[in-house]
C-alpha cells in the first residue's frame, strides 16, 4: 500500500501540479505549483492541510504559486540547493543523495541537471512515486535550456535505474505529441506503436496520460533508449556512444 495519496491538478495549458498527502500525519506537499489559486481551492476541497512545497526547478510554471501558497498556509518550501537563489521563498535546500520526509514518507533527492542547471527530482520509494518535473516526461524529456546532452543523458540514466513499477509524475501533458515524434526515430518498436494508439484513445476521451510507469518508459521512450543498438542503427549512428545518440534524438525532437 502506498504511503502517500497523490492528487493531480491540471492548470494552465498543459501543466500538472500534484498534492502528495500522508494520511497518517495529515502532512501535504504541493509539487511544483505553477499557480496558487487552484491549488489552494483543491486542497480545501479535499480537506488537506498544505504543509510543504517541493520544487524541482526554478521555471515560473513550477514556482509561480510558491509565495501565494506560503502566505496562505505558512508551509515550508523545499528546493534545489544548486539553484536556491531562483526558488521563491525557499526554506530548505536539498541536493543529490539527500532524504527529506513528508509525514511517514521519505523522498530521496536526485540531482538531474540538463533542462536547467539545478534541476532535482524526488523519489518516494515506499509510494512508488517519482516527481521529476521537466527532466523526464512520458515518452519524452525536457529541452536542454541550461545543460548539455551529456548531462541530461546522465540524469535520465539515474532515473532509469529506479524500479519498473515507479509511477512517473511528470509536470506536463505532452505525451501525445511525444508519441508522434517517438515513432519517427524508433519505428520498429511495436510496444511503442501499441502505446501510441492507447494514448490517442485516452486523449480522445479527455483522459490524462500521466502518470506513466517507469518500466513502460524504459521500453518505449527513445530518450531512455539511447544505448539500444536498434535505435542507434536506425539513426545511422551504429556503435556511437549513448550520449551521441541521445543528442541526435534531442536535436530531432527540437525541430519536429
Tally of CB atoms within 10 A around 106:
16
- The three grid cell numbers given for residue 173, joined into one nine-digit string: 501533458
Phi-psi domain of 133 (left: phi exceeds 0; alpha: psi -120 through 50; beta: other): left
Q: Which residues pair with 213 in a beta bridge?
A: 167
The catalytic position among 57, 58, 83, 119 is: 57
Helices first, then strands: H and E counts in the chain: 9, 14
Complete edge-to-edge strand list for the sheet that includes strand 76-80: 5-11, 15-21, 27-31, 49-54, 76-80, 92-94
Residue 59 annotated among the catalytic residues of the structure: yes
The catalytic position among 58, 59, 83, 186 is: 59
- 65 SS3 class: coil
Residue 115 annotated among the catalytic residues of the structure: yes
* Pairing verdict, β 129-133 and 167-170: parallel
Residue 134 annotated among the catalytic residues of the structure: yes
Residue 2 annotated among the catalytic residues of the structure: no
The catalytic position among 21, 58, 62, 119 is: 62
Residue of 25, 23, 32 lying closest to 4 (CA atoms): 23
Residue 52 annotated among the catalytic residues of the structure: no
The catalytic position among 21, 52, 119, 172 is: 172
The catalytic position among 21, 52, 58, 115 is: 115
Question: What is the rounded (10 degree) CA torsion for 64, 66, 69, 72?
Answer: -120
User: Which residues belong to the active site?
Assistant: 57, 59, 61-62, 115, 134, 172
Amino acid at each position: 500500500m502506498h504511503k502517500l495519496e497523490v492528487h493531480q491538478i491540471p492548470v494552465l495549458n498543459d501543466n500538472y501540479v500534484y498534492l502528495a498527502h500522508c494520511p497518517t500525519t495529515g502532512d501535504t506537499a504541493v509539487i511544483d505549483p505553477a499557480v496558487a489559486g487552484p491549488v489552494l481551492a483543491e486542497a480545501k476541497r479535499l480537506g488537506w492541510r498544505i504543509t510543504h512545497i517541493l520544487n524541482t526547478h526554478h521555471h515560473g510554471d513550477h514556482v509561480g504559486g510558491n509565495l501565494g501558497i506560503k502566505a496562505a498556509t505558512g508551509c515550508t518550501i523545499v528546493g534545489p540547493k544548486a539553484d536556491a537563489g531562483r526558488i521563491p521563498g525557499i526554506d530548505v535546500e536539498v541536493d543529490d543523495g539527500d532524504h527529506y520526509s513528508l509525514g511517514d514518507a521519505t523522498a530521496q533527492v536526485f540531482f538531474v541537471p540538463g533542462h536547467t542547471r539545478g534541476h532535482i527530482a524526488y523519489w518516494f520509494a515506499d509510494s512508488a512515486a517519482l516527481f521529476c518535473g521537466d527532466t523526464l516526461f512520458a515518452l519524452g524529456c525536457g529541452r536542454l535550456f541550461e545543460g548539455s546532452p551529456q548531462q541530461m543523458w546522465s540524469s535520465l540514466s539515474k532515473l532509469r535505474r529506479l524500479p519498473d513499477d515507479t509511477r512517473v509524475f511528470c509536470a506536463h501533458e505532452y505525451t501525445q505529441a511525444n508519441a508522434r515524434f517517438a515513432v519517427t526515430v524508433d519505428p520498429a518498436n511495436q510496444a511503442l506503436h501499441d502505446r501510441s494508439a492507447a494514448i490517442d484513445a485516452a486523449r480522445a476521451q479527455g483522459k490524462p496520460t500521466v502518470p506513466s510507469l517507469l518500466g513502460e518508459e524504459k521500453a518505449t521512450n527513445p530518450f531512455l533508449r539511447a544505448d539500444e543498438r536498434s535505435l542507434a542503427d536506425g539513426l545511422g549512428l551504429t556503435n556511437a556512444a549513448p550520449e551521441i545518440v541521445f543528442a541526435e534524438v534531442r536535436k530531432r525532437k527540437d525541430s519536429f
